[in-house]
């Protein structure tokens, strides 16, 4: 016996396949069977998607689910549920857990736990460096073979240029992506001292030069400054294999929100000037920025309710990402809908080589259904996440995911995770 799901009358946006049309989608068990006008199938469970948008399952390549070690903030189960609530079917978790994911044992445990929970496609990255001083290159081949989706030292830059160069070459050999965090940290400054320029600009320029020298590729995590974006734009125009991402908060919130929201707005990279926020929007539109990722960073109230200097960096975002982006960018005509969807689906899938991001028959049936016009108010107390550190609490939004389907199973419907 096969299980059939038939999604009828929705507007399908599948950038990779050049589709933006009213079409039906038939799902057979866990797989996309066909996409065509007017499909009919006896015995199929019908989903009426009239007036709704159907996209490939959304992908968030930068999330912190905090397992192992800080399960009071989030864990793989609650993080997976938060992803579903936000319309995401695939995520890549960051390796700055406690301990760090810098060996195969921990990596395999995280991946195994993701599978046990089984709600979404959960991938994990691994660290670029290992050792007390982060001065040794991880065994990229071994960690890739153990399932790493990419490599990044979340929260810290790779301070040693020779090490970064070696990492780029090893990653290239093993056909896997590096995604450095071009930012400073207390640990980094204890070694390098304070840099003379913005750390993001310093490390972005250094890494572009290394990519050029070694003819390798690189994906920059959360870019936030006009000047680093300009450097990336020039690098791309020279044909270098460089991609980058931006967070919803760096696309929407400028520095003035620090006054308004206090430590809820404390994040690394920090919120920037309005001109930088505008530059991020331009970069998204002109293709310099390839991906939007939440950097969902859960923290407890106790870690946030401290004086500015001591409070934890980061904000949660996976449950508000789509709504915030639709309201503030699409409905305000700053970014076209299909461009936004590409940055959340086919682009991250292509860059990180994930089996997702397009709705081709034979692909896993990972699908997000969106009501572009649904008006709702963010309420952090209703989040699936364990944490509440969102600056978007009480924001009135327009546009919401209304169904999340993972491998043919309806996992979220009308905001309820099933």
Chain residues binding ligand DOR by CB under 6 A are: 64, 96, 154-155, 181, 267-268, 297, 313-314
Question: Which residue in 370, 374, 264 sits closest to 314, CA to CA?
Answer: 264
Ramachandran assignment for 167, one of left (phi > 0), alpha (psi -120 to 50 degrees), beta (any other): alpha
In the complex with ligand DOR, the residue whose CB is nearer, 218 or 337, is 218
Q: Rounded to an integer, what distance in angstroms lies between the CA atom of residue 235 and that of residue 227? A: 12
Whether the upstream peptide bond of residue 99 has omega within 30° of 0, thus cis, is yes
CB of 221 to Zn ion, least distance (A): 6
Four-CA torsion 208, 210, 212, 214, nearest 10 degrees:
-150
Which range binds Zn ion by CB under 5 A, 211-219, 290-298, 386-394, 400-408? 290-298
Rounded to the nearest whole angstrom, what is the least distance from the CB of residue 245 to ligand DOR in the complex?
12
Strands (E), 57-157: 58-63, 88-93, 121-124, 129-130, 136-137
**Interior CA angle at 394 toward 296 and 374, to 5°?**
85
Q: Closest Cα to residue 405, out of 7, 52, 9, 24? A: 7
The residues near 377 (Cβ < 8 Å, ≥ 6 apart) are: 394, 395, 396, 397
Tokens of 200: 């993001």
The residue (of 103 and 185) whose beta carbon lies closer to Zn ion is 185
Q: Which does 313 bind (CB under 5 to 8 A by kind): ligand DOR, Zn ion, none?
A: ligand DOR
Ranked by CB distance to Zn ion, the top (closest) residue is: 154
- Tell me which residue of 415, 416, 333 sits closest to 374, measured CA to CA: 415
Q: Report helix, strand or coil for 13.
A: strand
Dig out the tokens for 194 from the structure.
């304070």
> CB of residue 94 vs Zn ion: minimum separation in angstroms?
5
Structure tokens at 364: 């896993």
Nearer Cβ to Zn ion (74/154): 154
Q: Is 154 in the site for Zn ion (CB under 5 A)?
A: yes
Binding of residue 60 to Zn ion (CB under 5 A): no
Residue nearest to ligand DOR (CB): 314
Least Cβ distance, residue 391 to Zn ion (angstroms):
17
From 326, 330, 307, select the one nearest 402 (Cα to Cα): 326
Nearer to ligand DOR among residue 181 and residue 233 (C-beta): 181
d(CA 280, CA 346): 20
Q: Given the complex with ligand DOR, which of 314 and 399 has the nearer CB atom?
A: 314
Supply the minimum distance, in Å, between the C-beta of residue 200 and ligand DOR: 11
Rounded CA separation 364/20 (Å):
20
State the number of binding residues for Zn ion (CB under 5 A).
Answer: 2
**Residue 96's binding partner, choosing from Zn ion, ligand DOR, none, with beta-carbon cut-off 5 to 8 A by kind?**
ligand DOR
Q: Which is nearer to ligand DOR, 35 or 261 (CB)?
A: 261
Q: Shortest distance, CB of residue 108 to ligand DOR, whole angstroms?
A: 22
Residue 268 contact, options Zn ion, ligand DOR, none, Cβ 5-8 Å cut-off depending on partner type: ligand DOR
- The binder of 321, among Zn ion, ligand DOR, none, by C-beta within 5 to 8 A per type, is none
Query: Please, what is the minimum distance in Å from the beta carbon of residue 208 to ligand DOR?
Result: 20
Examine the residue annotation and report whether 286 is marked as an active-site residue of this protein: no
Could you give the string, one character per residue 291-330, with x where binding to Zn ion holds by CB under 5 A and - elsewhere?
----x-----------------------------------
CA 283 to CA 277: how far, in whole Å?
10
Which residue in the list 207, 276, 295, 371 is annotated as catalytic? 295
Kindly list the residues in this chain that would bind Zn ion in the complex (CB under 5 A). Answer: 154, 295
Catalytic residue positions, numbered = 295
């Amino acid at each position: 016996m096969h299980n059939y799901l038939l999604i009828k009358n929705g507007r399908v946006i599948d950038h990779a396949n050049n589709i933006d049309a009213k079409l039906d989608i038939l799902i057979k068990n866990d797989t996309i069977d066909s996409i065509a006008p007017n499909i009919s199938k006896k015995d199929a469970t019908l989903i009426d998607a009239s007036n709704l948008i159907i996209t490939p399952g959304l992908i968030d390549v930068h999330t912190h689910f905090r397992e192992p070690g800080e399960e009071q903030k989030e864990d793989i189960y609650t993080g997976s549920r938060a992803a579903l609530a936000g319309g995401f079917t695939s995520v890549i978790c960051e390796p700055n857990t406690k301990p760090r994911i810098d060996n195969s044992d921990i990596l395999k445990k995280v991946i195994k736990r993701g599978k046990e929970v089984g709600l979404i496609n959960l991938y994990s990255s691994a660290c670029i460096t290992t050792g007390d001083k982060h001065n040794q290159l991880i065994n990229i081949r071994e960690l890739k073979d153990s399932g790493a989706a990419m490599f990044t030292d979340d929260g810290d830059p790779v301070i040693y240029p020779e090490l970064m160069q070696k990492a780029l070459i090893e990653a290239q050999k093993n056909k896997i992506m590096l995604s450095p965090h071009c930012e400073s940290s207390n640990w980094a400054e204890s070694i390098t001292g304070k840099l003379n320029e913005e750390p993001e600009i310093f490390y972005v320029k250094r890494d572009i030069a290394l990519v050029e020298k070694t003819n390798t590729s690189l994906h920059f995590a959360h870019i936030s400054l006009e000047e680093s974006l300009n450097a990336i734009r020039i690098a791309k125009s020279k044909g270098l294999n460089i991609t980058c991402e931006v967070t919803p908060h760096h696309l929407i919130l400028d520095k003035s929100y620090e006054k308004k929201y206090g430590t809820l707005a404390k994040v690394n990279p920090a919120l920037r000037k309005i001109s930088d926020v505008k530059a991020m929007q331009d970069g998204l539109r002109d293709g310099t920025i390839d991906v939007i990722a939440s950097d969902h960073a859960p923290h407890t109230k106790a870690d946030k309710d401290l004086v500015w200097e001591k409070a934890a960096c980061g904000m949660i975002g996976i449950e508000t990402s789509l709504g915030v982006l639709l309201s503030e960018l699409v409905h305000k005509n700053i970014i076209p809908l299909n461009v936004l969807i590409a940055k959340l689906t086919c682009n991250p899938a292509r860059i990180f080589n994930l089996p997702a991001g397009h709705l081709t028959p034979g692909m896993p049936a990972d699908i997000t259904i969106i009501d572009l016009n649904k008006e709702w108010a963010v309420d952090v107390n209703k989040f699936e996440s364990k944490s509440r550190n969102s600056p978007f609490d009480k924001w009135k939004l327009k546009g919401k995911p209304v169904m999340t389907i993972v491998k043919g199973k309806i996992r979220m419907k009308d905001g309820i995770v099933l």
